[in-house]
């Protein structure tokens, strides 16, 4: 029987944070969440939840008021391509997320907490290695010379260096993961901050059979998508391992966006025409390189994309029905 831990989840009202709260609670731990808001989709299972702004140091002091066994820092100003690649939110993204990381990490250090998990992103990889959709290079050691294609990616790179610097200079044991496109139920599915799998599930759910859906770009750009449960599993395994990272947590099942649309359409049982329209896209190709995580943790995500999409589509279709009254037929 594992002893109960005291766990802090920053960003606990968000997609990954709320799943992490559920999982760590199910393990029998005492869990505190902190976020600007509660989850939009389910009541929190945290024992304690602070609604507060982690840019504010006094909120960090309130949140980090004890020597937590585990701290997960997931709070960030983020969204899908429609939010992070247009340039319209760059100053907010950099300022808000960097301030949160500076505050939370330093507060943990001063509270003598030895370890914080930090969620970086595949968006920190250099754009020049992701121009070929068929063979992107996202090996962890390909990060430099740095050239992320968004300010979101630059902030992630700065912050992952910050966590590692505290390890070097302050004897901490922070852990850094680079998440690759996490998806699943209870993620943002409308409003502008949703990411490709959720947006596509919504569009497919709202479309009539034999109708059409809009896809940003030519749909030939490649990505991989990791189901939320595997993301949480990898996060816990990394945190509780002796490996510092940075390490990719992602799927290596690469698909084009057109293929993703076809998979979702098949799940929905619909035939749909793809209407390719201009839109913010990001890099041409990206896939998780899982060699390092397999080597370091003896584990890597393995669930098929279609299995995760089936669960996600079912949830989003339900949201569409109850939120818009649109019949998903
Ligand atoms: P999310 O937007 O659902 O969750 C982030 C949460 O942070 C939100 O609930 C938000 O309210 C909270 N937050 C923002 N500013 C805050 C502040 N000033 N004070 C307190 N809380 C604040 O995002 P997510 O998908 O759950 O992502 C979690 C983390 O993982 C983020 O750091 C994100 O950059 C990283 N990540 C996610 C993905 C992905 O595909 N979801 C990929 C790579 C990296």
Q: Which atom of ligand 1 is nearest to the CA of 96?
A: 18
pTM of the model: 0.96
DSSP 188-237: --SSS---HHHHHHHHHHHSPTT-EEEEETTS--EE--EEHHHHHHHHHH
76 Cα to the center of ligand 1, angstroms = 4
Print pLDDT tens along the chain (329 aa).
Answer: 567 999 999 999 999 999 999 999 999 999 999 999 999 999 999 999 999 999 999 999 999 999 999 999 999 999 877 888 889 999 999 999 999 999 999 999 999 999 999 999 999 999 999 999 999 999 999 999 999 999 999 999 999 999 999 999 999 999 999 999 999 999 999 998 898 999 999 999 999 999 999 998 999 999 999 999 999 999 999 999 999 999 999 999 999 999 999 999 999 999 999 999 998 778 899 999 999 999 999 999 999 999 999 999 999 999 999 987 555 44
Q: Which CATH architecture has domain 6-182+226-249?
A: 3-Layer(aba) Sandwich (3.40)
Name which residue sits closest to atom 25 of ligand 1, judged by CA.
Answer: 15
153 Cα to the center of ligand 1, angstroms = 14
Chain-centroid distance, C-alpha 289: 16
Q: Shortest CA distance to 91 belongs to which of 103, 74, 104, 77?
A: 77
What is the torsion angle, in degrees rounded to the nearest 10, for the CA atoms of residue 64, residue 67, residue 73 and residue 75? -20
Domain residue ranges of the chain, discontinuous segments joined by +? 6-182+226-249, 184-224+253-287+303-320
Question: Fold identical between 6-182+226-249 and 184-224+253-287+303-320?
Answer: no
Q: Which atom of ligand 1 is nearest to the CA of 53?
A: 19
Superfamily the domain 184-224+253-287+303-320 falls into = UDP-galactose 4-epimerase, domain 1 (3.90.25.10)
Asked whether the beta carbons of 251 and 211 are under 8 A apart, the reply is no
Q: Which atom of ligand 1 is nearest to the CA of 73?
A: 32
Question: What values do phi and psi take at 227, rounded to 5?
Answer: -70, 140
Catalytic residue among 152, 163, 227, 313: 152
Asked whether the beta carbons of 174 and 167 are under 8 A apart, the reply is yes
Ligand 1 neighbours (beta carbon < 6 A): 11, 13-17, 35-37, 53-55, 74-78, 96, 100, 119, 121, 179, 181-182, 195
- Whether 109 sits among the annotated catalytic residues: the reply is no
């Amino acid at each position: 029987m594992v002893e109960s831990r005291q766990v802090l989840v920053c960003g606990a009202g968000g997609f990954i944070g709320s799943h992490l709260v559920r999982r760590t609670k199910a393990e029998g731990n005492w869990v505190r969440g902190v976020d600007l808001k509660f989850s939009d989709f389910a009541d929190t299972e945290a024992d304690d939840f602070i609604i507060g702004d982690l840019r504010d140091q006094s909120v960090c002091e309130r949140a980090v008021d004890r020597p937590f066994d585990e701290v997960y820092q997931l709070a960030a100003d983020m969204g899908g391509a429609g939010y992070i690649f247009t340039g319209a939110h760059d100053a907010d993204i950099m300022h808000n997320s960097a301030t949160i990381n500076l505050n939370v990490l330093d507060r943990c250090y001063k509270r003598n907490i030895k370890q914080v998990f930090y969620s970086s992103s595949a968006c920190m990889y250099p754009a020049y290695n992701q121009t070929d959709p068929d063979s992107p290079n996202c090996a962890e050691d390909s990060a430099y010379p740095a050239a992320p294609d968004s300010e979101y990616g630059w902030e992630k790179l700065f912050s992952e260096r910050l966590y590692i610097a505290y390890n070097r200079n302050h004897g901490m044991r922070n852990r850094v993961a680079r998440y690759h496109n996490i998806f699943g139920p209870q993620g943002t599915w409308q409003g502008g901050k949703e990411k490709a799998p959720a947006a596509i599930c919504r569009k497919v759910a709202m479309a009539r059979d034999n109708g059409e859906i809009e896809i940003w770009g030519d749909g030939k750009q490649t990505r991989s998508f990791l189901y939320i449960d595997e993301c949480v599993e990898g996060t816990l395994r990394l945190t509780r391992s002796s490996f510092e990272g940075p390490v990719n947590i992602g799927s290596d099942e690469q698909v084009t966006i057109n293929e993703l649309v076809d998979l979702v359409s098949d799940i929905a049982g619909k035939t749909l025409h793809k209407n390719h329209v201009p839109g913010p896209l990001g890099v041409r190709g990206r896939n998780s390189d899982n060699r390092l995580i397999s080597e370091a943790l003896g584990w890597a995500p393995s669930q098929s994309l279609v299995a995760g999409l089936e669960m996600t589509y079912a949830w989003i279709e339900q949201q569409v029905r109850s939120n818009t009254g649109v019949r998903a037929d």
